[in-house]
Amino acid sequence: MPWIPTPSDGLETSETLRSQYETEQIISTLLTEQLAGSTPTGLELDTHVAFCRRLLDHPLPAYFVGLDASRPWVLYWTLHSLAIAGQPIDAALRARTAATLSTFQNADGGFGGGPGQLSHLAPTYAAVCALAYAGEEGWDVIDRSAMYRFLLSLKQPDGSFIMHVGGEVDVRGSYCALTVATLLDLLTPELTNAAANFIASCQTYEGGLAAAAFSATAAWPDAPAAPLGEAHGGYAFCAAASWAMLKGPSSSKRHNNDSSSPAHGDDLRGVDVLALLRWSASMQANPIEGGGFRGRTNKLVDGCYSWWCGGLLPIAEYLLEEDKPAAATPDLVDLYDAASLRQYVSLVAQAPGGGLRDKPGKSPDAYHTCYNLSGASSATLPPVFSRSIYEQLVQSFQPASNLSERSENPRTAGQDTKETDAQRSCQVYGRSLAWHVGRSRREDAMKHEDLAFIHPLFNICMPAVQATMAHFYRQNATL
């Protein structure tokens, strides 16, 4: 396609339009130079590995003090980037990760951004994801019973989660809480009750999802909830991934009166998945912007949305297939331009000295390195849900080995039996690990894109997810 600039709205003094033109000019000039052969055109993974190693092995610059409350995130971003690049997490690094994060978990069960800091769902998610890469030493850090109490303490009557005690309602809270609960075998009806309804209430007129929604008041109980803000790639991903965690495969759909369903208590009023697909695909930028993604309508392209929007599309495809008969499901293989997304990551977001960035003119950082590589992985090794793998996992699940551990979880008296508890664990385990590589695009990917396959919901490399869930669900092996 030709590199056509964004049409003018006639308001040449508009700061937004001026920024758009400047971004287009910088990116198109860079692409022209790189595609002419004057600079490398593939992912230089060695430089990004070295970038991450510097963050882990050397004192951080003084300006990192601004990330003091995000220390679990820095660990997760760097460990995950190394894993995507195929680098093993050696024993010394696993031990350092476990030792560091062990000081971040508070008595209430949640993790703070550092020792003695407030328990918060965001660093809790990041800490658990980082500990997934630390192996058994990392898993032993987590106090599951306290963690369950912490997650419940943040649950709201409308199904949402506040980010911390006294904090704001945010769909990121739903995602962080449900991811942690799924990985640690803590996903119960008590935790998921009404969660799906809250998520659906965040969908906006555009089709994407916003951070939250106003709940209907007692005066207007039938009034629809109004989204708080505009559709956003990060919130939309969190909402779609949460929705997928709450929904089982269609072959095992249950009525709400079945207490073995994780979404027990919800009527699962719908997310309009087709509208979500349209919105997500429309966030891919034009060729003149390199084919990356923007996070909101009329905003600038940004490398992190390679994951938040690009990685959202396989989830939405799965949800659509679950909602519709196979014969009625459209072919979504080419729903977005995966080659252009890989081009953006390799030619636009890749910083010459290592690390990845938002766009040219921005500095590389751990956050953008993580999510650019995640997006490139999803575009190269597209995740697909396998019903046959799901059935195999369910059939091979060993509930007896799991009952004693599950019985330690705090429960409402009389709510569960060990049998339904194990049955639920079996289903969650099966559907969480039934993702595999679909039609690999390695054959048309640029050189050096030897990236690892990542879980589409949790954004952790699949072997770490399998090992972590096998540990907490007390299973001997995974498929």
- Quick one: pLDDT at residue 441? 56
**Confidence label for 333 from pLDDT (cuts 50, 70 and 90):** low
- Quick one: pLDDT at residue 224? 62
**Would you name the residues annotated as active-site residues?**
232, 296, 299, 302, 304-305, 358, 365, 368
Q: Which of 103-117, 176-190, 258-272, 331-345 has the lowest mean pLDDT?
A: 258-272
- Quick one: pLDDT at residue 14? 73
- Quick one: pLDDT at residue 264? 41
d(Cα 344, Cα 285) in Å, to the nearest integer? 10
Q: Answer for the pair 298, 367: CB distance below 8 angstroms, yes or no.
A: no
User: Which one, of 100, 431, 80, lies nearest residue 254 by Cα?
Assistant: 431
**Confidence label for 229 from pLDDT (cuts 50, 70 and 90):** confident
- Quick one: pLDDT at residue 32? 85
- Quick one: pLDDT at residue 443? 53
Q: Which of 13-17, 47-51, 256-260, 365-369 has the lowest mean pLDDT?
A: 256-260
The residue with greater pLDDT, 333 or 9, is 9
Mean pLDDT of the chain: 86
d(Cα 115, Cα 96) in Å, to the nearest integer? 15
- Quick one: pLDDT at residue 335? 82
Q: What is the DSSP letter of 290?
A: T
Taking only the tens place, the pLDDT of each residue in 30-48 is 888 877 775 656 899 999 9
Q: Which of 136-145, 249-258, 456-465 has the lowest mean pLDDT?
A: 249-258
Taking only the tens place, the pLDDT of each residue in 364-409 is 999 999 999 999 999 999 999 999 999 999 999 998 544 444 444 4
Taking only the tens place, the pLDDT of each residue in 90-114 is 999 999 999 999 999 999 999 999 9
Res 77 pLDDT > 90: yes
Handedness of CA 32, 278, 430, 210 (dihedral sign): positive
- Quick one: pLDDT at residue 248? 72
Res 424 pLDDT > 60: yes
Express as a percent the part of the chain with pLDDT over 90: 70
Give me the mean pLDDT over the 429-457 stretch. Answer: 79
87, 92, 96, 98 alpha-carbon torsion, rounded to 10°: 80
Res 1 pLDDT > 60: no
Q: Answer for the pair 312, 271: CB distance below 8 angstroms, yes or no.
A: no
Q: Answer for the pair 333, 439: CB distance below 8 angstroms, yes or no.
A: yes
The residue with greater pLDDT, 5 or 308, is 308
d(Cα 477, Cα 471) in Å, to the nearest integer? 9
- Quick one: pLDDT at residue 418? 65
The residue with greater pLDDT, 174 or 411, is 174
Express as a percent the part of the chain with pLDDT over 70: 82
- Quick one: pLDDT at residue 255? 34
**Confidence label for 462 from pLDDT (cuts 50, 70 and 90):** very high
Give me the mean pLDDT over the 417-446 stretch. Answer: 80
Give the CA angle between residues 328, 331, 336 to the nearest 5°: 140
- Quick one: pLDDT at residue 421? 86
- Quick one: pLDDT at residue 38? 58
> At how many degrees (to 10) do helices 91-102 and 121-134 cross?
150
Q: Answer for the pair 78, 55: CB distance below 8 angstroms, yes or no.
A: yes
